[in-house]
Structure 1
Amino acid sequence: MADMALDSYSKVQIGVDYYPEHWDESMWETDIKLMKETGVKVVRVAEFAWSRLEPSDGSFDFAWLDRALDLFHAYGIQIVIGTPTATPPRWLTSAHPDVLPVLAGGGVFHPGVRGHRCYNSASLQQYGSRIIEALARRYSGHPAVIGWQTDNEFSMLDCHCDSCNLAFRSWVQKKYGTLEQVNSEWGTVVWSGEYSAWEELTVPYGGSPFQNPSLLLDFQRFQWDAVIAYQKTQTEVLRAICPRHFITHNFHSYPQRLDMHGLAEALDVAAFDYYPNPSPQKQATAPYSGALSLDLTRGIKRRGFWIMEQLSGPPGCWFPMWRTPYPGLIRAYAWQAIARGADTVVHFRWRSAAAGAEQFWHGLIDHSNVPGRRFAEFARLCGEVNALAPLLEGTRVISRAAILYSHEQLAALRIQPQAEGLDYYENIKQYHRALTKLGIGCDVIDWRQPLEGYKLVIVPSLYLHDEEAAQLLESFATGGGTVILTSRSGVKNMNNICVMQPLPGLFSHAAGITVEEYDPVGGEVHSLRSAEDLRYKCSQWCDILRLQGAEPVAWYADDFFAGAPAVTMNRFGAGKVYYIGTQPEENYWLKLLGDAARDTGLTPVPELPDGVQAFTRTGEQGELLFLLNLSRTAQTVGLDKAYRSALSGSLRTGAARLEAYDIEILQAEDGSPQEG
């Protein structure tokens, strides 16, 4: 990829989403001039505009977009174009109904909304490639255009149309070769589910949860591959015609059922649509869930990312409106995204829609058409980011702790829920929240990724597993790393078939334990006893552990398994492997992860108040420490040394007071980076 393309997506800047086709053309220049004056650097356009770009079959109208892009260029604002395939026009769906997905119950995903497109539709691929090629040829040389967004917010459709049925059958044939192998690998002998002819093998019509779990998991894998293949039809066109432009996609609403890492292989940079909930009732969770979303997005490509849609006002439309952002919230959450590795933050949207389903998904300017408090806060943010951009350029997030994330585990554990309250992603939130409260930087990466550079790795519920996964963790521990395994690991092979060996399966050797018995306690609250004789609550699951070389760290304190080990630590090579047989409360995670971090040389930030987060970005000029108060009350954070404020230039020592939704960006006076 050309250096110019790299520069265009790695700049630290603020942008907005804008829909010129929604507004009278007489408004455009006034809007764009105000964007320029406010400090907006980049704008996304056209991701839903197919019917305006191609009003009828083969009849293109780019003149309006030409005029809009020329205006943006005249004011020095750069453009990302969204391919408009998330909203096929009515002329296309009427002439080619195979474009529309068929739901599990047989109903059709009708037009007039968005996302009404089957990824396996030959018509969608044909007409989608045609409009993308026409757009690419039109704007490959336009001086304002720097990149492309594929489609919009890909998601799993669970389409059961004829095209998907045939494609799924072909996918299974390619994977397994023979029906005999399918019957063997899926265990179809159960309930007389064996296939005797390929025509009998179909998508799981009706979507019944009682169907074969191996079939259901492979149906999801088929869909992951279908979305990846569909996006490839777009990226290949864009690469061929626009080699100097970058390509991204906007992921959304984690946990996503998609294979985000597979989708991102064809992208230059990952993007995320970030809508933190401003409700006071979400205060205890939203800042931490948001931090996880940002770390997960950074982990998709293991480098800086974009926010393609950032909260600008109260969302609402097909659900009651949320609370309006509290003063400071818009600015603080944008800086949180930058602190966690976002280079560009694009706010949704410039102005609130006057028509359509998203009329009350508020933008920066309300229906009054008069910029108000939120807009003034956004303008302040633009000024700060533009002023600090030279300092931020080239900085990145460097973490020594990681959580291994797997869309396959997410899928398998949803197909067969293990216990009341045991939720793969919700449990990850708890581990990640503890690390965030400790001020320990954390990457969230695909479970198959190399682990060089990390000291501490948390491995949530590797329910599906194989030799490769076991070897990866064993090698990491042998080399001196600390691994934290959790319950429901090593249960099945990769075809979703239970492994007939003591749990945690292939991880038993490194963990130094086996599971004698387990109790799916669900929502019942049980008790843990630590080595210091402190008591902690636990729930969801209780593995009763047999020691086979490991040392007990905590024990159950009640029920028939009182006194049995619940948490263990095994010395393995130069490293350590912990096994957590239950789901402890947050206070226990804070203690365990704090102790493990210090043991590996990572330094927690002492006594971060609730709602306050500390993140770092590191570059040639040293480390930038971001302190963010994502709460409605003033907070004070102790400082371990003298810092210079990048925002004000003032010297900060002893402690930093942060008002509600205030932030501070600090450089150590000696400029030396700190590890943690």
Structure 2
Amino acid sequence: MARDSYMNVQVGVDYYPEHWDESLWEPDVKLMKESGVRVVRVAEFAWSRLEPSEGDFQFGWLDRAIGLFHKYGLLVVIGTPTATPPRWLTHDYPDVLPVFADGRIFHEGVRGHRCYNSASLRKYGNRMIDRLARHYSSHPAVIGWQTDNEFGMLDCHCDSCNNAFRTWVKGKYGSLENVNEAWGTVVWSGEYSVWEQLTVPYGGSPHQNPSLLLDFQRFQWEAVADFQKAQIDILRTVCPEHFITHNFHSYPQRLNLYPVGEELDVAAFDYYPNTSPAKQSTTPYSGALSLDLTRGIKRQNFWIMEQLSGSPVCWMPMWRTPYPGFIRAYAWQAIARGADTVVHFRWRSAAAGAEQFWHGLIDHSNVPGRRFAEFTQFAGEVNQLSDLLKGTVLKNEAAILNSHEQLVALDIQPQVENMDYYENIKQYHRVLTKLGIGCDVINWREALDGYKVVIAPSLYLMDEEAAAGFEAFAAEGGTLILTNRSGVKHMNNVAVMQQLPGLLSHAAGVRVDEYDPIGTEPHSIVDEEGTAYACSQWNDLLTPVTAEPIAWYGDDFYAGIPAVTVNRFGKGQVYYFGTHAEESYWSGLLEGVAEKEGLLRFAGLPEGVQASVRSGESGSFLFLLNLSRQPQAVPLSRRYSSVLDGGERSGELALAPYGVEILKL
């Protein structure tokens, strides 16, 4: 099976044969086939069944399950089971278990109880992966692997992590003198005199040296990437024809997704849009951001490895059941924004364990119902359009930059009440989505070639290389939008000793003379037409150098002082937002920028309706999705052909609640 099999547009399910009596397996697999399922994920939590005691490998049950999938023509992705080390391993080799800063142990019983730096976990986990890979490398049903499950930050403080962190710091800085200088440890007499004094940040207070705390995060990012790479190296060697993915989850993440995603063939995401009616005004847009962010991990199409199938519960009270059309619409939203394969979690609700009421497509009764019928409809539509959509991608001209370093640094030292790095990104992305403008969300260090408009929120940490890249983008004709709290610090989390926005001052053409952390206190800005808008969080008092003001503060002692500026820079322009303006101001400004830059835009979208375009050799396809409980009407500028039913669409397109339309452009 070719490694590019992950590019197929298809539908799947997550299935746990080890949870069910074997008499259920074949009826389940037969029904999967009949419902349109093409791919199944298995075994990511099954270590205790695959190796019930040290060295006793038992793959027979999985052989029989995968044999059934093959019999019915279904493809299989196997999860490496390192997220759930078995009890024999944690009992005999306790270094596997993470340790919290206060000395408490992250015990077995749930999942994720594994220290990425544990020598025992590396040894026995890699042995398991090698055995699995060799056993299934030539099986005709197996096409790929998922590493571990939902990597995240553990903040482990065990002896292994302590030693590994010290080694990491030595490798980065070389000498204690360099560490003391870079971290500014002279403050509060924190200087190190021998290496043994340098440890993970135990501390009884969270308010420790911010440079130490940021580097501890970076160390953990590299530990996760290294832990995964050891698995990938085995899989690449033994199964060169199989693809490799990982299922990221729950944004924002402190974990830096980009180095973890670098070694993968394709990124994946676990997508659980909120079913609550109270969240209907926000869920479509926060979900769109999550999908665009996942696509940006590798700047290519991705998988959904877990898609909502019913009410989730385990870590929180039970959500509302999905409204009719919800499951289908949000699964199509994932495809519209670049997912090639959508795998639903799970086939049937679990009868045992902590996730018994994290509902699957089929309830405990084992009687397929409304949700299953909706899933079957979706799977049938995808199978009908699979060949047409294969190879199609999104080609956006606008981007928002995302940085885990900025997020973590701002979390270490919160700047002001109500300022949240990711929530601000949500607003900018929501505005673009409502305007019908496609947007990529990419690593802030990525090349910006091909984009016309780039929003770069709160570049709090900055270096000369990054600043030069932003200047080059604007000089060559790009529109760059900067926001407050940019250029504040060097990359070692130490403040710059120059007027803000520091290294970005030349591009912005403005200087910050003073700032006012206003938090939630009501303030306003006034634009060139005299219209007032609310602003919050932070007010930079700006003095234009080469920039032109386009909005001014409307109140307080700095009424009349510039709040938003634009600077002509080479062939392009750089906006600087000294404050966090309300959504309507951003909407008007971005609408004007889009018109000036000629961005592809689908205008006139009602609330809750989203538009995306996928293009490829087979053509371009416009996805229109009503992700709300109200019927909506979308104006069409010309006559289109629907690829769902072949009919013609023109005038005003009526979309039922959670209605979906796909038009040939």
TM-score range (shorter-chain normalised) is: over 0.9
**Alpha carbons 1:183, 1:195 under 8 Å: kept:** yes
What are the superposed Cα offsets for residues 420-461 of structure 1, whole Å, 9 maximum, x if unpaired? 110000000000000000010000000111111100000010
1:290-439 to 2 correspondence within 5 Å? 290-439=287-436
Q: Distance in 2 between matches of 1:318 and 1:490?
A: 38
Q: Distance in 2 between matches of 1:455 and 1:259?
A: 26
1:211-230 to 2 correspondence within 5 Å? 211-230=208-227
Q: What is the DSSP-based 3-state SS (H/G/I as helix, E as strand, rest coil) of the residue aligned with 1:527?
A: strand
Name stretches of at least 5 consecutive residues in structure 2 with no aligned partner: none
Q: Distance in 2 between matches of 1:478 and 1:374?
A: 52
What is the TM-score when the length of structure 1 is the normalising length?
0.98
Identical aligned pairs, as a percentage? 71
**Alpha carbons 2:438, 2:601 under 8 Å: kept:** no
Q: Distance in 1 between matches of 2:522 and 2:82?
A: 48
Amino acid corresponding to residue 278 of structure 1 in structure 2: T
From 558, 561, 567, the equivalent of 2:564 is 567
Determine the structure 2 residue equivalent to 1:5: 3
**Alpha carbons 1:312, 1:348 under 8 Å: kept:** yes
**Alpha carbons 1:291, 1:340 under 8 Å: kept:** yes
Amino acid corresponding to residue 453 of structure 2 in structure 1: L
Determine the structure 2 residue equivalent to 1:597: 594
Q: Distance in 2 between matches of 1:207 and 1:221?
A: 21
From 284, 288, 292, the equivalent of 2:285 is 288
Does 1:246 find its partner at 2:243?
yes
Determine the structure 1 residue equivalent to 2:46: 49
Amino acid corresponding to residue 69 of structure 1 in structure 2: I
**Alpha carbons 1:16, 1:348 under 8 Å: kept:** yes
Q: What is the DSSP-based 3-state SS (H/G/I as helix, E as strand, rest coil) of the residue aligned with 2:374?
A: helix
Give the deviation of 1:207 after TM superposition. 6.3
Give the deviation of 1:602 after TM superposition. 0.9
Give the deviation of 1:484 after TM superposition. 0.2
From 483, 490, 494, the equivalent of 1:497 is 494
Name stretches of at least 5 consecutive residues in structure 1 with no aligned partner: 669-676
Q: Distance in 2 between matches of 1:576 and 1:622?
A: 34
Amino acid corresponding to residue 327 of structure 1 in structure 2: P
**Alpha carbons 1:594, 1:604 under 8 Å: kept:** no
Give the deviation of 1:197 after TM superposition. 0.8
What are the superposed Cα offsets for residues 156-184 of structure 1, whole Å, 9 maximum, x if unpaired? 00000000000000100110011111000
1:52-71 to 2 correspondence within 5 Å? 52-71=49-68
What are the superposed Cα offsets for residues 571-596 of structure 1, whole Å, 9 maximum, x if unpaired? 00000100011111110111111111
Q: What is the DSSP-based 3-state SS (H/G/I as helix, E as strand, rest coil) of the residue aligned with 1:263?
A: helix
Q: What is the DSSP-based 3-state SS (H/G/I as helix, E as strand, rest coil) of the residue aligned with 1:136?
A: helix
Give the deviation of 1:368 after TM superposition. 1.1
Determine the structure 1 residue equivalent to 2:653: 656
Q: Distance in 1 between matches of 2:520 and 2:242?
A: 51
Give the deviation of 1:261 after TM superposition. 0.7
Q: Distance in 1 between matches of 2:94 and 2:313?
A: 31
Q: Distance in 2 between matches of 1:482 and 1:574?
A: 9
Q: What is the DSSP-based 3-state SS (H/G/I as helix, E as strand, rest coil) of the residue aligned with 1:52?
A: helix
Q: Distance in 1 between matches of 2:602 and 2:86?
A: 53
Does 1:185 find its partner at 2:182?
yes
Determine the structure 1 residue equivalent to 2:548: 551
Give the deviation of 1:274 after TM superposition. 0.2
Q: What is the DSSP-based 3-state SS (H/G/I as helix, E as strand, rest coil) of the residue aligned with 1:205?
A: coil
What are the superposed Cα offsets for residues 474-498 of structure 1, whole Å, 9 maximum, x if unpaired? 1011110000000000000000000
Q: What is the DSSP-based 3-state SS (H/G/I as helix, E as strand, rest coil) of the residue aligned with 2:191?
A: coil
Q: Which moved more, 1:646-655 or 1:300-309?
A: 646-655
Q: Which moved more, 1:591-600 or 1:573-582?
A: 591-600
Give the deviation of 1:607 after TM superposition. 2.2
From 11, 15, 38, the equivalent of 2:12 is 15
Determine the structure 2 residue equivalent to 1:509: 506
Give the deviation of 1:112 after TM superposition. 1.3
**Alpha carbons 2:107, 2:113 under 8 Å: kept:** yes
Q: What is the DSSP-based 3-state SS (H/G/I as helix, E as strand, rest coil) of the residue aligned with 2:342?
A: strand
Q: Distance in 1 between matches of 2:427 and 2:604?
A: 18
Q: Distance in 2 between matches of 1:210 and 1:329?
A: 44
From 471, 474, 477, the equivalent of 2:471 is 474
From 76, 79, 83, the equivalent of 2:76 is 79
Determine the structure 1 residue equivalent to 2:633: 636
**Alpha carbons 2:389, 2:618 under 8 Å: kept:** no
Q: Distance in 2 between matches of 1:583 and 1:284?
A: 21
Q: Distance in 2 between matches of 1:158 and 1:607?
A: 46
Amino acid corresponding to residue 54 of structure 1 in structure 2: E
Determine the structure 1 residue equivalent to 2:581: 584
**Alpha carbons 2:542, 2:562 under 8 Å: kept:** yes
Q: Distance in 2 between matches of 1:663 and 1:468?
A: 44
Q: Distance in 2 between matches of 1:467 and 1:654?
A: 52
Q: Distance in 2 between matches of 1:509 and 1:528?
A: 24
Q: What is the DSSP-based 3-state SS (H/G/I as helix, E as strand, rest coil) of the residue aligned with 1:593?
A: helix
Amino acid corresponding to residue 84 of structure 2 in structure 1: T
Amino acid corresponding to residue 602 of structure 1 in structure 2: L
Q: Distance in 2 between matches of 1:64 and 1:604?
A: 52
**Alpha carbons 2:349, 2:358 under 8 Å: kept:** yes
Amino acid corresponding to residue 627 of structure 2 in structure 1: L
Q: What is the DSSP-based 3-state SS (H/G/I as helix, E as strand, rest coil) of the residue aligned with 1:412?
A: helix
Q: Distance in 1 between matches of 2:440 and 2:26?
A: 42
Q: How many residues align?
A: 665
From 524, 530, 534, the equivalent of 2:531 is 534
Q: What is the DSSP-based 3-state SS (H/G/I as helix, E as strand, rest coil) of the residue aligned with 2:2?
A: helix
After superposition, the Cα gap between the structure-2 partners of 1:207 and 1:9, relative to the gap in structure 1 and judged at 3 Å, is farther
What are the superposed Cα offsets for residues 492-550 of structure 1, whole Å, 9 maximum, x if unpaired? 00000000000000100000000010000001121110111111111000000000010
Q: Distance in 2 between matches of 1:176 and 1:170?
A: 10
Q: Distance in 2 between matches of 1:532 and 1:552?
A: 13
**Alpha carbons 1:520, 1:541 under 8 Å: kept:** yes
Q: What is the DSSP-based 3-state SS (H/G/I as helix, E as strand, rest coil) of the residue aligned with 2:355?
A: coil
Give the deviation of 1:194 after TM superposition. 0.5
1:118-133 to 2 correspondence within 5 Å? 118-133=115-130
Determine the structure 2 residue equivalent to 1:138: 135
Q: Distance in 1 between matches of 2:626 and 2:168?
A: 49
Amino acid corresponding to residue 37 of structure 1 in structure 2: E
Determine the structure 2 residue equivalent to 1:27: 24
Amino acid corresponding to residue 217 of structure 2 in structure 1: Q
**Alpha carbons 2:25, 2:65 under 8 Å: kept:** yes
Q: What is the DSSP-based 3-state SS (H/G/I as helix, E as strand, rest coil) of the residue aligned with 1:35?
A: helix
What are the superposed Cα offsets for residues 97-133 of structure 1, whole Å, 9 maximum, x if unpaired? 0000000111000011100000000000000000000
Give the deviation of 1:206 after TM superposition. 3.7
Q: Distance in 2 between matches of 1:136 and 1:201?
A: 40
Q: What is the DSSP-based 3-state SS (H/G/I as helix, E as strand, rest coil) of the residue aligned with 1:94?
A: helix
Q: Distance in 2 between matches of 1:76 and 1:57?
A: 34
**Alpha carbons 1:186, 1:212 under 8 Å: kept:** yes
**Alpha carbons 1:14, 1:344 under 8 Å: kept:** yes
What are the superposed Cα offsets for residues 116-155 of structure 1, whole Å, 9 maximum, x if unpaired? 0000000000000000000000000001000000000000
**Alpha carbons 2:336, 2:623 under 8 Å: kept:** yes
